[in-house]
Amino acid sequence: MSFYSGLKRVLVGESLPTSAHAEERLSNAEALAVLSSDALSSVAYATEEILLVLIAAGTAALTWSLPIAVAIIALLAVVILSYRQTIRAYPNGGGSYIVARENLGLYPGLVAGGSLMIDYILTVTVSVSAGTAALTSAVPGLQRYTVELCLVFVFLLTLANLRGVRESGRLFMIPTYTFVVTIFLLIGLGLYQQATGQISQNDTLIEAKESINLFFILRAFSAGCTALTGVEAISDGVLAFKPPEWKNARLTLLYMGVILGFMFLGITYLAHAYHIAPEEGQTVVSLLGRQILGNGPIYYLLQVATLLILLLAANTSFADFPRLCYFLARDGYLPRQLSILGDRLVYSNGIIFLSVCAAILIVIFRGQVNAVIPLYAVGVFTSFTLSQAGMVRRWYQERTSGWQASAAMNGLGAIATLVVLGVIVSTKFKGGAWLVVVAIPLVVGIFLAIHRHYEYVAQRLSIQGIAPRSYIPRLRTQEGTHPAVVVVGQLNRGTLEAIDYARSIADEIVAIHVDIGSTDREKLQQRWQQLGADIPLIILDSPYRSVVSPIVDFVTDFEDRHPNVLSTIIIPAFVTRNWWESILHNQTTFFLKASLRAKKSRVVTTVRYFL
């Protein structure tokens, strides 16, 4: 075992067979912790975001926090109910990308997908930066290491998620449920103290700097709508649940909505009842905690739980970003490597891609939350709007029983989220939201460029129209004179040239194909009989989704059956027009050649097909 393999096994764990995929699914309790941490953590700052806007109009304006919170809860209810319908309509995972693409068309779907990708990356950046800020506030001496600490937290989250869905679910259950319990304890004790008249009056008056008008209220409303970020995660992650997946996902989404709604409304009500106003260096949750819980152990438990949930909020992105990338890669709009399951039955490449993007943003913005916040929420509300508009069109086209009520509800949600999106963009545009507004079409442009490349490659490699070939079965002139093995990835023009080359140099040829669980064996064998009938095709099983290991094992066994003979291993490979296009294709050929060349008594040949 190499040093790299040993280190990987220690950090990530043993490889899991594809057959264990069902065992790696999440229970409802685990899924609530993994997929809802982003939404639930918003309780720690959503009320504060509302108050920070309202305080500009003076102390009296803070009374608007309650009606605004009620309006946000109403919007939350509409979004939750909408996504419950989406999950039922798309039981195999119906995130904003799929809903928008199927019902509104390609470009709205790509906009939704690009918006969500950007939002997931920003979620990791904001959550990790916010959690680190809580730590450095408690220990000021660590402030100069803010960026380094952020990167360490990103690395730890990456490592936890690379270990697999089930293990990450177990890891994150304790801090998530500790936060929920402490928040409900805070709300319960706060309501009890209010009922028994134990609230101390805070008569501090703050001078108004702005007047209250409709646009001002809308600004406060849009600021509080950060409470809705992460709500769509469960609809994207339906396949992470145990069977019946869609039913469990709908139930968990309802649980999340109820818990989130009660916590958000409870914190906002207590902030109103206790006359809490935002203070420099103190969060609203901290101020409430000090008044209700005092400075005892429960208060510090609340602060530690808040710190952990803010860090773990990033985990929602780690759970859903790779799945979103899988859907886009499957459709040919992202590199195909993002659609491949890793050793631990998670989309490892997507997890690493997310980590790298978030780390780059953390370095650029120096781990400062305030610098990233203006970019936040634009992407998620764009995807909200497109998803719900897509559902409206779906109801209208299908016209199933009760479709009018469903369409009306989704239409209301689409209008509300569109209004919020407009307010967010208009109020935060100069503060940095313009970056996301510009980034979304750029990302869509990248999607389209990648898709054009894959279409071009498919067209150049296609064997469509090639007439079936007829070959006389090969007769060996001398036992084991020159055997050859042809590696068949996909049946294309490059493969045919490799086979023709094998016929020209060898008198015993066998072709091998590795099935990692996605091969239509019957179709492949049928087409093979038409194009290479004189050469047997052996399909190798790969329960651990490795391409290299089964081939190396087969070649070793093949050579054992042909002693004292130099065998040739032929690997077809196509060459792209530009070097950078090779990034869009996996590097299996490189690793396969390196493994096969470990033994010197064999010839490894690459037959190149130039596009």
On the question of pLDDT at 467 being above 70, the answer is: no
Q: Which pLDDT band, with edges at 50, 70 and 90, does 360 fall under?
A: very high
The answer to whether the CB of 416 falls within 8 A of the CB of 79 is no
Mean pLDDT value across residues 337-342: 85
On the question of pLDDT at 509 being above 50, the answer is: yes
Q: Which residue has the tokens 């997929």?
A: 35
Mean pLDDT value across residues 477-486: 70
On the question of pLDDT at 432 being above 60, the answer is: yes
pLDDT in the model for residue 5: 59
Closest by Cα among 93, 473, 18 to 249: 93
pLDDT in the model for residue 522: 85
Tokens of 469: 């070939």
Q: Which pLDDT band, with edges at 50, 70 and 90, does 257 fall under?
A: very high
- Tens digit of pLDDT for each residue in 554-604? 988 988 888 888 888 998 988 888 878 888 887 788 888 888 887 767 788
Which of 3-12, 399-408, 428-437 has the lowest average pLDDT?
3-12
Which of 213-217, 433-437, 462-466 has the lowest average pLDDT?
462-466
Tokens of 305: 């739980």
pLDDT in the model for residue 477: 47
- Tens digit of pLDDT for each residue in 97-121? 999 999 999 999 999 999 999 989 9
Q: Indicate the angle between helix axes 378-398 and 403-428, nearest 10 degrees.
A: 160
Mean pLDDT value across residues 147-162: 90
DSSP H or E stretch at residue 568: strand 567-575
Mean pLDDT value across residues 469-476: 52
The answer to whether the CB of 233 falls within 8 A of the CB of 320 is yes
pLDDT in the model for residue 442: 97
pLDDT in the model for residue 8: 61
Mean pLDDT value across residues 372-391: 86
pLDDT in the model for residue 7: 62
Q: Which pLDDT band, with edges at 50, 70 and 90, does 154 fall under?
A: very high
| Distances 548 to 95, 514, 542, 590 between C-alpha atoms, Å | 34, 9, 10, 10
pLDDT in the model for residue 481: 67
| Distances 299 to 139, 305, 355 between C-alpha atoms, Å | 17, 10, 32
Closest by Cα among 389, 384, 434, 52 to 236: 384
Half-sphere exposure (CA, 13 Å, Cβ side) for 21? 14
- Tens digit of pLDDT for each residue in 55-92? 988 888 889 999 999 999 998 998 898 888 888 888 88
pLDDT in the model for residue 22: 59
On the question of pLDDT at 480 being above 50, the answer is: no
pLDDT in the model for residue 235: 84
Which of 127-131, 199-203, 463-467, 482-486 has the lowest average pLDDT?
199-203
Tokens of 256: 């999340």
pLDDT in the model for residue 94: 64
More confident position, 11 or 447? 447
Closest by Cα among 189, 179, 207 to 270: 189
On the question of pLDDT at 2 being above 50, the answer is: yes
Q: Which pLDDT band, with edges at 50, 70 and 90, does 18 fall under?
A: low
pLDDT in the model for residue 353: 95
On the question of pLDDT at 256 being above 90, the answer is: yes
What DSSP line would sit under 316-379, residue for residue? Answer: HHHHHHHHHHHHHHHTTSS-GGGGS--TTSS-HHHHHHHHHHHHHHHHHTTT-HHHHGGGTTHH
- Tens digit of pLDDT for each residue in 180-239? 999 999 999 999 999 888 776 666 667 778 888 888 888 888 888 888 888 888 887 888
Where would I find the H helices in 90-164?
96-104, 106-138, 146-162
DSSP H or E stretch at residue 510: strand 508-515
Burial class for 479, CB neighbours closer than 10 Å (0-12, 13-18, 19+): exposed
DSSP H or E stretch at residue 175: helix 165-195
Q: Is the dihedral of CA 584, 590, 592, 595 positive or negative?
A: negative
| Distances 420 to 108, 115, 377, 381 between C-alpha atoms, Å | 18, 15, 10, 7
Tokens of 232: 């769509």
User: What's the mean pLDDT when you consider all of the chain?
Assistant: 84
What DSSP line would sit under 216-285, residue for residue? Answer: HHHHHHHHHGGGGTTTTHHHHTGGGBPSSHHHHHHHHHHHHHHHHHHHHHHHHHHHHHTT---BTTB-HH
Give CA angle at 101 (236, 518), nearest 5°. 65
